[in-house]
Amino acid sequence: MKKLILISLGLLATTLIQASTTLNANVMLYLNMNSKTTIGNVQLNNMTSFEVTQTVQELSSTAKLIVPKAYGKIGQQPILELLKVGDPVKVELGYNDNYNVEFEGFLSEIEADAPLILHLDDKMWPYKQNNWVKNYPKANLKQVLQELFSGLTIDCPDVNLGKFEIDNASSYQVIQDLQSDHGLYSRINGNTLKVGLAYDFADTSKVHEYIIRKYVKTNDLKYKRKEDMQVRFKAVANLPNGKKKTVTVGSKLPNASEKTLNFAGDFSEKELKEKAEAVLAKAVFDGYTGSITGYGNPLTKAGDCLKIIDEQNPEREGTYMIETVEVAYNDNGFSRKNSLSYKVY
């Protein structure tokens, strides 16, 4: 077993003032930011900054970590000699010596500069490094993914892909093409590869709460009525024989926002319309759109749900899927910018 090299430089001057929802509104709670990063067999107990964007719309997440200049050497050995591309990485952030796992993945690039900048890829990184040449006379989505992403549990719809060929492509490239051709979004969550429509990614078991005018850093939300949301969906069924079938639902106004939905399967026009209308019902609602930025806690993730509490207008309260989370940890504090998707309830 490798010995873990532990380096602690103490916390940066990043004491954060955060209101606690359990306290009186006039009482402020002072929280000290803390970080812990493990790269290979090296542990860093400080960082200059960390940033990552997670979204259900992208296959993988990349992060950037800036290491303080004081880490130039560990003992007599330059830190660059202890790090290598491909090392596993775990970033833990929090307050007052309490940590949450913020990012897990691999070291993908090292910028040899002062300060040292490290680029990280999530758990999709190994699946960008391989190469496949395969020919399936008759392929099923789960069958293909189990082979290309061995070691992961596959959670995906039952989709027949028909004749399917892979010509010198990585697992990552193949699933990118599946997303483009069939509208199937993918994310690795823990050891599970989840594949489905973007509107299938809401995890209703993880619901966080924000009070819209309290205990948040910035609020860029706008309340809209259903009738003001001019949205149109063009639903395309990608049939196993290579042909396509299309239906359109939603607003007929020329200036309406049009989005394309790709479905894989041999659907009738009626079935395709029903699927498109189910998505439209989620996309058009009375409720909030935009983003709201909180602190490091609660630990919101893309795909989680966020309940917006509006004490001035309680009738406007609702719960939404978080489409994107932008995490920033630096001298300006610790924040999470949450962009909302559709209304869950």
Q: Where are the domains of the chain?
A: 5-123, 130-199, 202-225+285-345
Q: What is the CATH number of domain 202-225+285-345?
A: 2.30.300.10
The residue type at 114 = A
What pLDDT is stored for residue 61 in this prediction? 95
- Model pLDDT for residues 279-332, shown as the tens digit of each residue: 898 889 999 999 999 999 999 999 999 999 999 999 999 999 999 999 999 999
Distance CA 165, CA 145 (A): 13
Count CA within 13 A, CB hemisphere, residue 239.
Answer: 11
What are 141-158's pLDDT values in tens digits? 999 999 999 989 999 988
Instruction: Please choose, from the candidates 301, 342, 307, the residue with its C-alpha nearest in 3D space to the C-alpha of residue 321.
Output: 342
Measured between its terminal Cα atoms, the distance across the chain in Å is 49
Say if residues 157 and 173 touch (Cβ distance below 8 Å): no
Asked if 115 and 48 touch (Cβ cutoff 8 Å), the reply is yes
CA 302 to CA 208: how far, in whole Å? 12
Fold of 5-123: Thrombin, subunit H (2.40.10)
Q: Are 237 and 337 in contact (CB under 8 A)?
A: no
User: What are the b/e assignments for 296-328, b being 16+ CB within 10 Å?
Assistant: bbbbbbbbbbbebbbeeeeeeebbbbbbbbbbb
Return mean pLDDT, the chain.
Answer: 87
Q: Do 333 and 134 touch, CB atoms closer than 8 A?
A: no
Q: Is a pLDDT exceeding 50 seen at residue 26? A: no
Name the pLDDT band for 29 (thresholds 50, 70, 90). Answer: low
Q: Give phi and psi for 8, each to the nearest 5.
A: -130, 125
Residue 73 in this model has a pLDDT that exceeds 80: no
CATH of domain 130-199: 3.55.50.30
Contact by Cβ (8 Å): 245, 236: yes
